[in-house]
Amino acid sequence: MELELIKQRNKAYLDSIGIITNASLPTIEELIEVKPQGAESIAKRICALSYVIGLAYGADPKQLRDYLKSYGLWESVTYREKRLLEAELISTKEQNEIRWMVESMQALAWSLGIVELDNLKNCDDDLADNFPIKSDPSEFIKEASRVSIYDIQKNCDLLYQMHWACNHDNSQNQLDKGVICARRSALDWVYGVDPEWEDIPMDT
């Protein structure tokens, strides 16, 4: 679907629910400008995050590292996450940042057709039940299948417009900026805006 049409349809939806929009926003990147992630790399990233998130809830970092390495997921952990996993102590600020990763996981799980994605709500209460935590993830990774790239485009554009709204007028508190940013970054990575998870641009 043409990106301008996606933009206009998302704008009409946001207008209809009372969220401020900007007709002057550019469209997102064309497919020829990006290199989308495959289902396998997305599934590995989900599995890796399911352990990294443990840092925010008092899990033993060494045990988390051991799980990640034994299941072949260490390479799906970012440089910054490895640093946190290897640190003797992480700050409260870092713990809070890690907690937002669950919203990234909701978006990634949606991109594999595992869950729904309602960007007006927080992640599913039972989200973790969908992933092979503390067990061999090879079957989960092997069977992963990505949703249509065009559906991913639609949500990338929607989250971009929602992020702009968060930065300009969110007086009615319909949008949670933390949720929007975590999901936007995750889906932009899936879409292939940048191959590096931590280098995704978040400008609006």
> Does some domain include residue 167?
yes
Q: What are phi and psi of 132, to 5 degrees?
A: -85, 75
> Does some domain include residue 22?
yes
> Does some domain include residue 99?
yes
One pLDDT digit (tens) per residue for the chain, 204 residues = 699 999 999 999 999 999 999 999 999 999 999 999 999 999 999 999 999 999 999 999 999 999 999 999 999 999 999 999 999 899 999 999 999 999 999 999 999 999 999 999 999 999 999 999 999 999 999 999 999 999 999 999 999 999 999 999 765 668 999 999 999 999 999 999 999 999 999 998
Question: pLDDT, tens digit, for every residue of 57-114?
Answer: 999 999 999 999 999 999 999 999 999 999 989 999 999 999 999 999 999 999 999 9
Cβ neighbors of 76 (< 8 A, separation 6 or more) are 41, 44, 45, 47, 48
What pLDDT is attached to residue 170?
63
Cβ neighbors of 158 (< 8 A, separation 6 or more) are 10, 13, 14, 119
Report pTM.
0.96
Structurally, how many domains does the chain consist of? Answer: 1
> Does some domain include residue 139?
yes
> Does some domain include residue 35?
yes
> Does some domain include residue 73?
yes
> Does some domain include residue 204?
no
Nearest-angstrom CA–CA distance, 170 and 172 = 6
What pLDDT is attached to residue 204?
86
What pLDDT is attached to residue 135?
97
Instruction: With H, G, I as helix, E, B as strand and everything else as coil, classify residue 101.
Output: helix
> Which range of residues forms the domain containing residue 64?
3-199
Percent of the chain with pLDDT over 70: 98
Nearest-angstrom CA–CA distance, 190 and 204 = 19
> Does some domain include residue 34?
yes
What pLDDT is attached to residue 1?
66
